[in-house]
């Protein structure tokens, strides 16, 4: 799991799940989710992280900027650290929206499995919406500063 980029993404996911300093509990949740992905696909966590990064990682983020009384949706270029955070945020937010009575590890495992297997899931839908919005508002890119 220690190749550089995938390990940093693993750490970002771990930090995002971490609640009140309970890192061991967060690590169990994340490892349980990757165990579920491994059982279904026989794919190592580093390979799964690479596929997830390829499908959800982006170099563009969309922000709303207010100038005087007008609001503009502006696409921004994103650095790699911010891209890791946004990727983790998409996944964790879509897991948090799931209201089923399953453990957090199972919900996260299902979301990661859907991403790896190209099944429809909330995080992929959010990613596509963000890219569509960035393309639609690319004329507003001169509002960046």
Given this model, what pLDDT does residue 27 score?
93
3-state class of 74 per DSSP? strand
Non-local CB neighbours of 44 within 8 Å, separated by 6+ positions: 38
Domain, as residue range, for 107: 4-143
Low-confidence ranges of the chain (pLDDT < 70): 1-7, 144-145
Domain count of the fold of the chain: 1
Given this model, what pLDDT does residue 5 score?
54
CA distance 72 to 137: 8
Given this model, what pLDDT does residue 3 score?
53
pLDDT, tens only, 84-114:
888 999 999 999 998 889 999 999 999 999 9
State the CATH number of the domain containing residue 67: 1.10.455.10
């Amino acid at each position: 799991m220690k190749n550089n980029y995938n390990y940093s993404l693993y750490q970002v996911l771990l930090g995002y799940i971490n609640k009140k300093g309970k890192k061991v509990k967060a690590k169990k949740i994340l490892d349980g989710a990757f165990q579920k992905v491994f059982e279904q696909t026989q794919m190592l966590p580093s390979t799964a992280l690479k596929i997830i990064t390829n499908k959800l990682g982006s170099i563009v983020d969309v922000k709303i900027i207010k100038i005087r009384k007008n609001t503009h949706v502006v696409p921004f270029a994103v650095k790699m650290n911010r891209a890791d955070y946004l990727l983790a945020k998409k996944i964790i937010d879509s897991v948090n929206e799931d209201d089923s009575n399953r453990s957090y590890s199972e919900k996260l495992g299902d979301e990661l499995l859907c991403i790896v297997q190209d099944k429809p899931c909330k995080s992929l839908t959010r990613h596509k919406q963000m890219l569509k919005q960035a393309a639609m508002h690319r004329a507003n890119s001169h509002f960046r500063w």
